Amino acid sequence: MIELINVTKAYSGKLALSGINLQVQPGQIYGILGPNGSGKTTMLKLISSIIKPTSGSIMVLGHDTVTENNVVKSITGYVPETPALYESMSIWEYLRFIASVRRVPSGQYEKRATEFLKAFELDETSSDYIGNLSFGTRQKVAIIAALIHDPQVIVLDEAMNGLDPRSSKILKDLLARIAERGKIIIFSTHIMEVAQRLCTRLSILYAGKIVDSGTFEELEKKHSEGNLEDIFLKVTGSEDLDPTVNSLAESMRE
């Protein structure tokens, strides 16, 4: 499993995360929710061994993210919120490069890449340079690159941003199939209906701390709310937005 034990992360003395304790079991699709600036991206980078915690420990399938960071990276597929891709490469060249770094056998790579490109409707544009692609198309390439080596852990930071409905549906259904094989999937999203339908468990972050966790059914029962959006707004203290909206509407009339 993945386990975070009393994890804290500070940047220039300012806490981004404080006292985070979390467990994610094999086969789970775990949603990390929170407003902008709550620490979601920091948490996902820590789990992916991209950055180190200021204090506490993180274990990913028995491997410490600090002392065994190369092992953690090798078993993880990570899609950042804003992917940085090699713009001078074509889609096919980039995926082949990633596959070589990930040590995917050439025959296996050819089959997987072909299937992914076809599924995401990139098969006819695979020779296009990444620098000429739209944001949504770049997102598709980043997702394929993260999954091409069939990682044990998949970490997605707002990865569905920019995807068309067809690609989003394919990704959601694929993640469910992957989780059935015992893989661990962790992702952040602002799309509450996706988190509510897809996640087997959720944690809500606010100001660098986990303020609530559980299955949707557990959260629904605890807060007496019928949907995840209302639960999220209640837990983060933003449930009564009418005064804010009224003030904005009035200012536009002046």
pLDDT 10s digits, 153-188: 999 999 988 899 999 999 999 999 999 999 999 999
Low-confidence ranges of the chain (pLDDT < 50): none
Give the Cβ contact number of residue 93 at 10 Å. Answer: 15
What's the pLDDT score for residue 235?
87
Number of domains in the chain: 1
What's the pLDDT score for residue 40?
95
Contact 48, 155 (CB under 8 A): yes
In a domain, 114, yes or no: yes
In a domain, 64, yes or no: no
In a domain, 25, yes or no: no
In a domain, 183, yes or no: no
In a domain, 85, yes or no: yes
In a domain, 212, yes or no: no
The parent domain of residue 102 ranges over 81-150
In a domain, 166, yes or no: no
What's the pLDDT score for residue 243?
83
Compute the residue count for the chain: 254
Q: Which of 86, 82, 52, 85 shows the shortest CA–CA distance to 67?
A: 52
What's the pLDDT score for residue 83?
87
The residues near 77 (Cβ < 8 Å, ≥ 6 apart) are 146, 147, 148, 149, 151, 153, 154, 155
In a domain, 143, yes or no: yes
